[in-house]
Amino acid sequence: MDNVRGEMTLGRPMRAAVMVPPVGVPWKRRAAGWLRPLFAMMGLGMLALLVRRVGPRELGQVLLDAAPWLPWVALLEVGRQAMDALATRAAYGAKAEHVPLRLLARAQLIGTAVSSMAPAGRAAAEATKAALLSPHMGGATAAAAAATSQAASLAAGGLISFPCAAASYVLTGWSAFTFAMLGHGVLLVGASTGMRACMRARRPCSWLARRSPRLAHHTEQFRETACHGALLPWGPMLAFLSSRGLQVAQYAVLTHAVGIDTSVVQALFSQGLYLCALAVGSLVPGQVGVSDGAFALAAGVLDTTAARAMSVALLSHLVQLVFVTAGALTPLVWRLPATPRPASPAPVYR
């Protein structure tokens, strides 16, 4: 109403509505939305160039000959998924009994799809699993367990890189491959230790609590949970190391399947090659094109042709695609009833 004439006017409210800026999508999210398909197209383009270079006919014949070995690789992948789920369960410590195994299996399947397709896949997968399991633990506890699991994964990847570097030294001496694997191991172990130290430090949590008083209680609970146990979370880390060991066995089967004279040294070298490609191509979904190029480049080290070496990565992508598809379909075919969120559980990690 107008205060002078008692007449209704929409002038000022309309102007106020026009002047309110619309809530837009953050520029980082918009950039990520553009970068993901861009890197995916770049990876596919690199893969197409590699296939053309090594010869589609020879490559196809190698893949057909190796196909009967894929069920064994898939069976080892099931073991890897079980070890990864066990690592997540170990990160919850004493409170892990509150998470039913079927829900943990469901979260692991979904996390596998996220890990393979999202940038920084392992961190995204752990965040996804935390979101799925938080109704049974509470947000702060689930977040602390996810961060602990991520740190354990980094440490396991770093530790397995050292025997891979030793295998590379046996095959190539002090080559670029050897230095890359050594550097990868040192970097990941250092990142894991630093991440756990930051989780346990008081200052970062106090800074976040001051920035958001609403999250102050959850922040302190997160820190208290992270302070339980050793700096390096041995339980989850050993589970992830077992997963990496099964992955070495996968590469042993794959290299044998494509006709490479396989030994433990070559299997470890292949594992180190994959881990380095994973680090370089973390923004490329599934590392398509990146790991293929790395194996083609190392064909001479494996004493084989580029087509056979590249087939190792292609067959690995094929097995990966099966589990990514299963994980992507899991939310559609495996639905769960809503679960009430528990009230602030105590710190749980041992």
Cα distance between residue 56 and residue 63, in whole Å: 10
Cα distance between residue 108 and residue 81, in whole Å: 7
Tell me, what's the pLDDT at 73? 92
Tell me, what's the pLDDT at 27? 53
Position 21 pLDDT exceeds 50: no
- Is 306 within 8 Å of 53 (Cβ atoms)? yes
Work out the average pLDDT over 272-289.
76
Tell me, what's the pLDDT at 2? 45
pTM score of the predicted model: 0.77
pLDDT in tens, 33-60: 566 677 667 767 777 777 777 778 888 8
Specify the higher pLDDT residue, 224 or 283. Answer: 283
Label residue 348 by pLDDT band (50, 70, 90).
very low
Position 162 pLDDT exceeds 90: yes
Cα distance between residue 99 and residue 142, in whole Å: 11
Cα distance between residue 330 and residue 339, in whole Å: 18
Label residue 7 by pLDDT band (50, 70, 90).
very low
Position 153 pLDDT exceeds 80: yes
Mark residue 120 as left, alpha or beta (left: phi above 0; alpha: psi -120 to 50; beta: remaining): left
Specify the higher pLDDT residue, 19 or 194. Answer: 194
Position 285 pLDDT exceeds 90: no
Specify the higher pLDDT residue, 347 or 256. Answer: 256
Query: Over the chain, what is the mean pLDDT?
Result: 77
Label residue 125 by pLDDT band (50, 70, 90).
confident
Tell me, what's the pLDDT at 135? 77
Cα distance between residue 120 and residue 110, in whole Å: 15
pLDDT in tens, 207-248: 555 555 555 455 656 666 665 666 777 888 899 999 999 999
